[in-house]
Amino acid sequence: MSDESRFPLIGEKFPEMAVETTQGSMKLPDQYKGKWFMLFSHPGDFTPVCTTEFYSFARRYDDFQKLNTDLIGLSVDSVISHIEWINWIKDNLKIEVPFPIIGDSMGRVASRLGMIQAESSAATVRAVFIVDPNSVVRLIMYYPLEIGRNVDELLRAIKALQTSDKYKGAMPANWPYNELIGEKMLNSAPKNVKDIPARMKEYKGYAWWLTYKDVPDNEVQEIKKIVKTKDEK
C-alpha cells in the first residue's frame, strides 16, 4: 500500500499538504515547524456537538498555548461556512475562535488523514492528530459523531508526551493523578538480566519491570494548573 493511499501512522511524518483556512492559505506541517500542533476534525458546522466542542476549544485555547501547542480545525464544509459559523459563535456564545479551520469541501485532506469512515460518508468523524515540533505524528484519536471530546484529556496527553520526551520515561494511567505512583513517571523495563539488580537499587518500584522516578515539580505543577481533579474544579 502506497503512502498516499493510507493515513499517517504514529511515529511517521505528518504528510505535506497545502490547505485553505479561515486565516488564509497554509502549508502543513511547515506552518507549525518547531511547535506542537493538534489538528482535529468535526463532522459539520452549525451542529450541536461540534458547537459545544468549538466553544470548549476556544475557551481553553490559552492552555494549549502554554504547552507550545497550536490548534487547527477541519471539516468538509467550505471556508465561507466556517467563517459564518464562528461569527455565529462569537455573536451568540460570546467567545471568539482564535485558531484556523481548514475548508475541505472536496474531502481531499479528510480522506488523506482517514477522517471519512463507515459511520458517515458525508462528514468527518472527530479525529485528532497531535504532531510534535519535528512534524512527527505522536498521537491519533478517533471519536464517533455523537460523542464530544474531553479537552482536559487532550491537554493531559500533550503534556504527558512532552514530559516523556524530556525526561526519558513513560507516563502512567491518569497522570499526574495516578492511583499507584501519583505524579511520578515510569522507567522502561531493563533489557537484560544483568541490569535488574542495579535497577532495583536505583529506583523504587513494585517489581524489577515496574519502577518509577520523580518528575520535576515545575512540570507537575504546570499540568496540575491546567488539568484539575473533579474535587478541585
Catalytic residues, which ones?
50
Backbone angles phi, psi at 57, to 5 degrees: -65, -40
Q: What dihedral angle (degrees, nearest 10) is formed by the CA atoms of 202, 205, 210, 211? A: -40
Instruction: Give the chain's length.
Output: 233
Contact of 116 with 92, CB cutoff 8 Å: no
| Dist CA 14 CA 8 (whole Å) | 6
Q: Which three cell numbers stand for residue 107?
A: 474531502
Q: Which three cell numbers stand for residue 68?
A: 507550545
Partners of 210 in the β-ladder: 207
* Sequence-ordered list of residues with C-beta below 8 angstroms from that of 6, at least 6 positions apart, any chain: 114
Contact of 125 with 141, CB cutoff 8 Å: no
Contact of 211 with 170, CB cutoff 8 Å: no
Q: Which three cell numbers stand for residue 171?
A: 507516563
Backbone angles phi, psi at 49, to 5 degrees: -65, -40
